[in-house]
A = this chain, B = another copy of it.
Amino acid sequence: MNTLNTTQAAYLAGLIDGDGSIIAQLVSRKDYILKFQIRVSVLLVQKKERIHFLKQFQKEIGTGTVRDRGDGIAEFAVIGGNTVYPFLKQIQPFLRVKRKQANLVIQILEQLPLTKNSPEKFLDLCKLSDQVSHLNDRKHRTMTSETVQALFQDLGLIKK
C-alpha cells in the first residue's frame, strides 16, 4: 500500500464517489467460530477496453487486483481489512457521496478485533454492514444481520 499525496487521494475519492463501491458483505464460513465473515472491499469498474486505467490505479495505490470479469467489464478490487483499512483512511477525508459507507467500514474494521469472543459485538458489526448495504441501495441481499442473529440464537451463542 502506497502513501498517496493529497491530489491522488482527492482524485481517487472523486472516482470512487462517482463510479466505485465501498462494500461490507456477510459471507458464510462454516469453519469460523462465529460462522460468518464480514468481507470488506472497495471496487472500481471500467469497460474492458479501458482496463489500462484500472492497472494504473492499482500501481498507484500499490495494492488490489485487476480482472476482466468476462462481461465486457473490468474490475479493480481491494479486498480485506489489511488493505481496505489503510486505503480508506487515506481517501476518507476527501469522500463526499460515499463517506458514510467509508466511515462505517472503518468502524467495522477497528472494532472487529473485539468480536473474537463476543457474538453480541459481532452482531453489532453485522448491523453496521447492513447500513453500508442500505446506503449502497442494495436492499435485497440474502445475508443480513438477521440471518446471523437467527443462527447465533439457534446455536445458543446469544439469547433469543
Interface residues of A (CB under 8 A from B): 6-8, 10-20, 44, 46-47, 50, 53, 56, 94, 96-97, 137
Per CB-CB distance, the 9 closest pairs between chain A and chain B, nearest first, are A18-B18, A14-B14, A18-B19, A14-B15, A10-B10, A11-B14, A10-B11, A15-B18, A7-B10
A19 partner residues in chain B, CB cutoff 8 A: 17-19
Q: Are A47 and B137 in touch, CB under 8 angstroms?
A: yes
Give chain A's interface secondary structure class.
helix
Complex partner residue of A18 from B10, B20, B56, B96, CB under 8 angstroms: B20
> Number of copies of this chain in the oligomer?
2
A18 partner residues in chain B, CB cutoff 8 A: 14-20, 44
A8 partner residues in chain B, CB cutoff 8 A: 10
Contacts A13-B11, A17-B15, A20-B18 known; A97 to B46 CB distance under 8 Å?
Answer: yes
Q: How far is the CA of A7 from the CA of B8 in the complex (A)?
A: 9
